[in-house]
A and B are shown apart, each in its own frame.
Chain A
Amino acid sequence: EGQLVQSGGGLVKPGGSLRLSCAASGFTFKDAWMNWVRQAPGKGLEWVGRIKSKFDGGTIDYAAPLKDKFTISRDDSKNTLFLEMNSLKTDDTAVYYCTMHWNDKRWFDLWGQGTLVTVSS
């Protein structure tokens, strides 16, 4: 059974940077399209971005407001997804989830446990 285990959250000062990781197991990671979704405290879900499998072109798409400060990458040799976050602001405070889908089944049926990022001075 597939699993996504996240790490890397924590407290960061405004203007700072942080990198989140998402380690995959139990499925063929290199074939999966991987996403990040975030949820501010008490708020709804917000899609952050997606990276396709290399076989499908490896294209990376971002939510428009986040494309200049967030970078999604993957290391298929380590079955790991990353989210690099720069120039963080207090409104980036959220639980960040990684999630996956297949090219031909694009709903999110496997989620990581979530990791809290708190941006505060």
Chain B
Amino acid sequence: EIVLTQSPGTLSLFPGERATLSCRASQSVSSSDLAWYQQKPGQAPRLLIYGASSRATDIPDRFSGSGSGTDFTLTISRLEPEDFAVYYCQKYGTSPPLTFGGGTTVDIK
């Protein structure tokens, strides 16, 4: 089973700053099978990025994904007030389990 480790656990930043979130896999993951989600309190997760780097519908271009193999990154170029939330990476694809990382909380400094 592939384990996804996200870091840091919490990222404290000011609005307007750049956020860099890491997702490291215990084994190589196909880039086509890596997604990022955003979750706000009391809400269901929302898809941000799929295929490691493709933005989902209506996702602003300040969100970008990159990486391959075992190291993936979600970057938020300039944090807006609505971006303070928890972010999860996920390995999906054909073969279960479809694991999630432990999450990174981006909060206001």
Contact = CB atoms under 8 A, between A and B. Distances in A.
B8 interface: no
A107 interface: yes
Interface in A74-114: 97, 101, 105-109, 111-114
A108 B93 contact: no
Q: Interface on chain B toward A: helix, strand, loop, or mixed SS?
A: loop
B44 A97 contact: yes
A47 B98 contact: yes
B88 A108 contact: no
A108 B94 contact: no
Interface residues of B, number: 26
Contact of B100 (A47, A49, A105, A113): A47
A107 B45 contact: no
Given A44-B88, A106-B33, A108-B90, A64 B97 contact: yes
A74 to B, nearest CB: 17
B88 A47 contact: no
Contact of A111 (B44, B94, B100, B103): B44
A35 interface: yes
A106 B96 CA distance: 12
Contacts of A49: 96
A46 B99 CA distance: 7
Interface of B: 1, 33, 35, 37, 39, 44-47, 50-51, 56-57, 88, 90, 92-94, 96-103
30 contacts: A35-B98, A37-B45, A44-B88, A44-B101, A45-B37, A45-B100, A45-B103, A47-B97, A47-B100, A49-B96, A50-B96, A50-B98, A63-B96, A63-B97, A97-B44, A101-B92, A105-B50, A106-B92, A107-B35, A107-B50, A107-B90, A108-B37, A108-B45, A108-B47, A108-B90, A109-B50, A109-B56, A109-B57, A111-B45, A114-B44
The 7 closest A-B pairs by CB, nearest first: A107-B50, A111-B44, A61-B96, A45-B100, A107-B35, A109-B47, A106-B92
